[in-house]
Amino acid sequence: MRSFVACLAAAALTPFLGAGEIEVTGIQAVCRHGQTFVTWKDVAEGEAGVEYRYSLYRSAQPITAANLDRAELCYHGVLNNSARLFGHGFNMKDRLDPAKPTAVLVEGGKSLPQWTGVGIHTVRKNGRAFYAVVATDEKHKPLTKVVPGRSATSEPIEETVAPIQPIKLYDSKGRPGPYIAQTAISGQKGLPMNVSLHASQGQGGTAGEYGDYYLFFGTHEMGWRDGLPGVFSVDERRTKPSNTLVLRAREAIEHPSGLRAMETFWFGYLAALEGKEPRAYPFTERRQLWIIDWAAKKYAADPNRIHAGGGSMGAWGSTTFALRHPERFAVVYPDRPRTRQRGLPSLVGPLGKNQKVLLDDGKTDYFERMDMVRFAAEHAADLPFFAWCCGRRDGFASWQEQVDMAKAMAASRHGFAFAWNNGDHSSGSQPMARVMKHYSAEKFARNQSYPAFRNSSLDDNPGNGDPKDGDLEGGINLGFLWKNVVDTDAQWSVRIANDLAKNDMTVDVTPRRLQQFKLKPGDTLKWTTSTGGAGATTVDARSLATIAGVRIRPNQETTLTLTRER
């Protein structure tokens, strides 16, 4: 029991509240894994608290009403009942619903009480810190006083810089549902990992119905404020030839208004931070890279066999995000992508017509950066194999950009396959089955070479970009099979077939993702084929060598061999 003197001291620190005055209480703070978790009791419950926001302050000295102006403002705008678990509180109605779950801040811990506030600070420097919380109106005007022991911590928090860690909420073996046996984590090391990027889900929700489920709070680099929450799940699918880990995350964020989620197109959004000019920040890309790296290490996935894919908006992300990262992805599967992004989510109002937008480096034009046709044309080094589909009448992804992407990939001799039909944004997904039949993920690894194809005599005609021009259904680089790739310092060879060939056919072949058979501009190579072809070729300025017109007979394999001329 507290002493009478201690009670008098506490009373002296607590101002008398007048009628109608409000107060933040119950502040607590703890530092774990490079982040300080601050919680408090909101000033009001239910609808009475809807209009309030909260500001988090930090200082090396105890924070009082007298020195608040000298404390560091971590950020404004924390919503009421911010303890609501991410995905269940994007709007006011859900934050008020007591049936919706709240967050857990330590693995195995209890869910936070309703009407709890949560603020996260990512530690940037080792030291000791005090924290305070002030309730404000929606324009961040202070409405409460700082009271040590109630809305401000009285004891310093020892803070240490460290890699941030997600909080495991559910285990794959304990989640309800009929598919636990098919999705539970086995613990097998070295499995491939599929990064599944979802389509538009702006209404809210979770990251996955099965698997290990995690909550995390992002760093300064991952959002418009420090500590923005997110979720992801990892499950294991029983597939052939081996099981595959599946990683799912949510790309949406809570909107500062508290009225809705904001989708980020798997990129990020336009924001004006700390009074600076508005910039396009790739917050979501940074957050996703962190999730992928953490999950791959945690589950001991094979780092050379990570692939990504998704439909619609997930296809946009597979293109504008995953294709940019050959150091992580072996192959990507966009299902109806935009290859030229035309939109940008914004926290500073809609974009003006033809408005120029720069990335956070202050130099790079956002729309030029998100033009993946241009990227493919200018990027000579290896990219993830790009396998995609689309319908000619798609209302979100134009047919012109699909044709242009195929031309750019072929001109730069990247590995790709493309199939299409005359469908819309819904039925345009159907041709993906034709692509996956021959280009499944197990064929690709970042540490394995493969043949890239172009100018196949079996290619259909996509036309000039007008949806009415060219073959209504078709594909490019479909039907190819290969095996027995030899990649040594002295030689590169491969056995190639095409199960769509009914007569002799030809195709240009470029060795890609070379491991040992490294090439330099100007090198001279000899080549032979098992069908009687032979010749010499010179490595071009991009360090690529292409053998044109390799002949393949129906139901037979052709062995192509390249050697260095000594």
520-560 tens-digit pLDDT: 999 999 999 999 999 999 999 999 999 999 999 999 999 99
pLDDT band at 476 (very low <50, low <70, confident <90, very high): very high
* Residue 379 placed within a domain: yes
Q: Is residue 550 part of a domain?
A: yes
Domain finish residue from 96, 131, 159: 159
In a domain, 106, yes or no: no
Residues 309 and 442 in one domain: yes
- Same structural domain, 293 and 339: no
Angstrom distance (rounded) from CA 197 to CA 202: 14
In a domain, 110, yes or no: no
CATH number of the domain encompassing residue 135: 2.60.40.10
What is the distance between the alpha carbons of residues 333 and 35, in angstroms, rounded to a whole number?
35
Same domain, 355 and 416: yes
**Residue 75, in any domain of the structure:** yes
Q: Is the pLDDT of residue 434 over 70?
A: yes
Partnered with residue 433 across adjacent β-strands are none
452 is a domain residue: no
Looking at residues 504-524, what average pLDDT do you find?
Answer: 97
User: Same domain for 175 and 273?
Assistant: yes
How many structural domains does the chain have?
A: 4
**What pLDDT does residue 19 have?**
42
Q: What CATH number has the domain bearing residue 318?
A: 3.40.50.1820
Query: Do 359 and 397 fall within a single domain?
Result: yes
Residues 323 and 414 in one domain: yes
Give residue 389's domain range.
304-447
pLDDT band at 201 (very low <50, low <70, confident <90, very high): confident
Give the pLDDT score at 485.
98
Residue 20 has pLDDT above 70, yes or no: no
201 and 313 in a single domain? The answer is no
Rounded percentage of the chain residues whose pLDDT exceeds 70: 96
Q: Do 98 and 116 form a contact (C-beta atoms < 8 A)?
A: no
Q: Does any domain span residue 245?
A: yes
* Contact predicate 168/180, CB 8 Å: no
Average pLDDT of span 175-179: 80
Q: Mean of the pLDDT values across residues 12-20?
A: 44
Please count the residues of the chain. 566
Does the pLDDT value for residue 197 go beyond 80?
Answer: yes
Residue 314 shares a structural domain with residue 407? yes
Residue 528 sits in the same domain as residue 425: no
Position 2 scores a pLDDT of 35
Q: Which amino acid, residue 46?
A: G
For residues 50 and 16, the model is more confident at: 50
In this structure, of 98-102, 204-208, 334-338, the range with the lowest mean pLDDT score is 204-208
Does the structure show a pLDDT above 60 at 466?
yes
Whether 141 and 265 map to the same domain: the answer is no
> Is it the case that residue 308 has pLDDT exceeding 90?
yes
CATH code assigned at 528: 2.60.40
Examine the domain organization and report whether 324 and 426 are in the same domain: yes
DSSP 282-318: -HHHHHHHHHHHHHHHHTT--TTSEEEEEETHHHHHH
pLDDT band at 203 (very low <50, low <70, confident <90, very high): confident
Strand-strand pairing, 244-249 and 229-237: antiparallel
pLDDT at 136: 98
Q: What is the pLDDT of residues 211-247, one digit of tens each?
A: 999 999 999 999 999 999 999 999 999 988 889 999 9
State pTM to two decimals.
Answer: 0.94
- CA–CA gap between residue 347 and residue 189 (Å, rounded): 42
Q: Which of 330-334, 349-353, 399-403, 511-515 has the lowest mean pLDDT?
A: 349-353
Which residues is 32 bridged to in the sheet? 35
Q: Please tell me whether residues 394 and 333 are part of one structural domain.
A: yes
Does 337 reside within a domain?
A: yes
